[in-house]
Amino acid sequence: MTDLDYLKLSKPKKLLYRMGAFFKAIPKKTGHFFANLGKKILRFFKGIGAWFAEVFSTFRDGDWKTRLSYLIMGFGSIARGQWGRGVLFLLFQTVFNVYMFFPDASKSGCFYLAKLSTLGTVETQKINRRTVYGDNSFFILLYGVLTLFFIAAFIYTWYQNIRQNRISEQILKSGHKLKTTKEDVTSLMDEQFHKTLLALPTLGVTVFTILPIIFMILVAFTNFDATHQPPGKLFTWVGWDNFRQLLSTDTESYGGTFRQVLLWTLIWAFFATFLNYFLGMMVAIMINKKGIKLKKVWRTILVMTIAIPQFVSLLYVSKMFAQDGLINAYLMKWGWIQSPIPFWTDPMWARFTVILINVWIGIPYLMLIATGILMNIPADLYESARIDGANAFQMYQKITLPYMLFVTGPYLLTSFTGNINNFNVIFLLSGGKPLSMELSGNAGYTDLLITWLYKMTVNDTNYKLAAVIGILVFVVLAVINLITYNLIPSVKNEEDFQ
């Protein structure tokens, strides 16, 4: 199809064409992915070979100061007068050696690294009414991963130490002077200031984000649960058993529960995203319509929903919809119903109720976003449409909606992702209820994957399956976001908006 033919298509046909083109290109993209992956792996091994060659050539051609730096980091820099760099290298090596070869062998990095393959072999025992603690699988896994990170950091720093010696020799041979410690500090505050600024955040992200994520992924391959709680009990590696258990086809096991909760999570995310989106847009259009009075008052009333903390409003609304709450009481008083509506005890009613209340919460956000966008739509477009005889619905279909979708496409994607992980609304309104004996892991019919994960972690201490759920949530979101991102018009050229 040519570009001219594509431009002549209607909006739905354009979307279908992009979807078809996307799925049609999957085999080709997959082939390119594996081809590029093979090239990257080959490039990686070539880089490793070049690294070893550089280290060997530096030792072969370097002077005695450089060669001694292979054993004592920073020695070459100190010997050449660069005290600041040398002391930092030496200090890092000292900290590494103390951590790896701590006098108390049970607290050293080598101990945790040696135990990492088994996660401990000595169990806690009671001998003569006295508790003799053995290995702690939790600490072994945590500090084992930390030790691997520390070793990687040491190898990188050691290489930088060698590289620094090689550069220093080249500078001295060319007749130039090396930078002093004062000049190094001045450089870190001037042309190298970006490194100074990023040092602490990078360390924080590594320790508090990357390390916990890797720890959580590794927990998914263990049997860490209520019956294997350190230090009383050890846990160990079980391979893919947890994934097989959660993805099993048995409807009465965790696999059946996972499929039900996953399906409801996707249904919830769809309605929570698009109902709020279109209803919020409609409210914004009605408030911005010419002739509407007290516009600021209507906006203020809606924004009050945002101003009140959800912890207060959702808990209060949850009580209102209870069996003996205000809603049932007034409906029965007015004679509209004969018996209380099971808002939180019937699965269908509970799901309908949380979606309805989420609309009340989400509309104000979308109203504010849509108001700002609607004010930027050129008024000439509407004027031209009226001259051509278009009615209000046609102007909404051809002008307002395409413009909104084009601008807010990325927001829709992030909103859908946020609703899949929307813990507050479900937990504060229904707590995942109603519960059922047909669902495993204390799951309820309104539980999302994120609230089910919370229950399995806090209530059941089933950390192994909770970790698997966390990984699968990431996989589901990654697939949805990858497909959607390649289809929304916002990622295309602006010329695609017609």
Would the pLDDT of 496 be above 60?
A: no
Query: Residue 258 maps to which CATH number?
Result: 1.10.3720.10
pLDDT tens profile 399-412: 888 888 888 888 88
Identify whether 278 is part of a domain: yes
Query: In terms of domains, do 223 and 266 share one?
Result: no
Would the pLDDT of 152 be above 90?
A: yes
pLDDT tens profile 77-88: 999 988 988 999
| Least trusted range by pLDDT, from 26-40, 386-400, 439-453 | 26-40
Overall average pLDDT of the 335-362 stretch: 91
Would the pLDDT of 1 be above 60?
A: no
pLDDT tens profile 103-122: 777 778 899 999 999 998 88
pLDDT tens profile 57-99: 999 988 899 999 999 999 999 999 889 889 999 999 999 999 9
Hey, is 130 helix, strand or coil?
strand
Overall average pLDDT of the 12-40 stretch: 70
Hey, is 127 helix, strand or coil?
strand
Query: Which burial class, exposed, middle or buried, applies to 89 when counting CB atoms under 10 A from its CB (0-12, 13-18, 19+)?
Result: buried
Identify whether 24 is part of a domain: no
The residue whose two tokens read 């320790």 is 207
**Phi, psi for 79 (deg, rounded to 5):** -65, -25
DSSP of 290-344, one letter per residue?
TT---HHHHHHHHHHHHHS-HHHHHHHHHHHTSTTSHHHHHHHHTTS-SS---TT
Q: How far apart are CA 328 and CA 333, in angstroms?
A: 8
What's the whole-model pTM score? 0.81
Would the pLDDT of 489 be above 70?
A: no
The residue whose two tokens read 């072994």 is 140
Tokens describing residue 71: 């054993």
Number of domains forming the structure of the chain:
2
Query: Which burial class, exposed, middle or buried, applies to 339 when counting CB atoms under 10 A from its CB (0-12, 13-18, 19+)?
Result: exposed
CA distances for 304 relative to 60, 69, 315, 369, 399, angstroms? 73, 66, 16, 16, 30
Identify whether 13 is part of a domain: no
Query: In terms of domains, do 233 and 306 share one?
Result: no
**Phi, psi for 237 (deg, rounded to 5):** -75, 140
Whether the ω angle into residue 489 lies within 30 degrees of 0, i.e. cis, is: no
Identify whether 216 is part of a domain: yes
Query: In terms of domains, do 380 and 480 share one?
Result: yes
What DSSP character marks residue 122? -
Identify whether 9 is part of a domain: no
- Domain end point (choices 239, 268, 287): 239
| Least trusted range by pLDDT, from 199-208, 211-220, 377-386 | 377-386
Res 73: pLDDT: 94
- Domain end point (choices 239, 262, 294): 239
Res 13: pLDDT: 64
CA distances for 30 relative to 24, 38, 79, angstroms? 11, 12, 54
pLDDT tens profile 153-185: 999 999 999 999 999 999 988 888 888 888 888
Res 494: pLDDT: 47
Query: In terms of domains, do 185 and 210 share one?
Result: yes
User: Mean pLDDT score of the chain, rounded to an integer?
Assistant: 85
183 φψ region: left (φ > 0), alpha (ψ -120 to 50), beta (else): alpha
Tokens describing residue 114: 């040696």
pLDDT tens profile 428-472: 998 888 988 888 888 899 999 999 999 988 888 889 999 999 999
Query: In terms of domains, do 394 and 329 share one?
Result: yes
pLDDT tens profile 212-255: 899 999 999 999 988 888 888 899 999 999 999 888 877 667 88
User: Residue 179 sits in which domain range?
Assistant: 62-239
Res 219: pLDDT: 93
Residue 8 binned pLDDT confidence (cut-offs 50, 70, 90): low
| Least trusted range by pLDDT, from 247-251, 271-275, 377-381, 493-497 | 493-497
Q: Which long-range contacts (CB under 8 A, 24 or more apart) does 22-28 make?
A: 22/483, 22/486, 22/487
Identify whether 371 is part of a domain: yes
* Percentages (nearest 5) of helix, strand, coil residues in the chain: 70, 0, 30
The residue whose two tokens read 């847009």 is 281
Query: In terms of domains, do 123 and 211 share one?
Result: yes
Q: CB–CB of 120/134 below 8 Å? A: yes
Would the pLDDT of 23 be above 80?
A: no
Residue 267 binned pLDDT confidence (cut-offs 50, 70, 90): very high
Identify whether 40 is part of a domain: no
Name every residue whose Cβ is closer than 8 Å to that of residue 48 and which is 6 or more positions away in sequence: none
Share above pLDDT 70 across residues of the chain, in percent, rounded to a whole number: 91
Q: How far apart are CA 249 and CA 456, in angstroms?
A: 20
Name every residue whose Cβ is closer than 8 Å to that of residue 236 and which is 6 or more positions away in sequence: 118, 119, 120, 137, 222, 223, 228
Query: In terms of domains, do 388 and 485 share one?
Result: yes
Higher pLDDT, 30 or 326: 326
Query: In terms of domains, do 270 and 205 share one?
Result: no
Would the pLDDT of 482 be above 90?
A: no
Query: In terms of domains, do 135 and 88 share one?
Result: yes
Query: In terms of domains, do 176 and 300 share one?
Result: no
Q: CB–CB of 481/294 below 8 Å? A: no
Higher pLDDT, 354 or 304: 354
Res 195: pLDDT: 85
Would the pLDDT of 16 be above 80?
A: no
Nearest to 377 by CA among 399, 408, 410: 399
Query: In terms of domains, do 301 and 437 share one?
Result: yes
What DSSP character marks residue 490? G
- Domain end point (choices 178, 208, 239): 239
Query: In terms of domains, do 312 and 176 share one?
Result: no
Residue 378 binned pLDDT confidence (cut-offs 50, 70, 90): confident
Identify whether 31 is part of a domain: no
The number of helix segments (H) and strand segments (E) in the chain equals: 23, 2
Name every residue whose Cβ is closer than 8 Å to that of residue 16 and which is 6 or more positions away in sequence: none
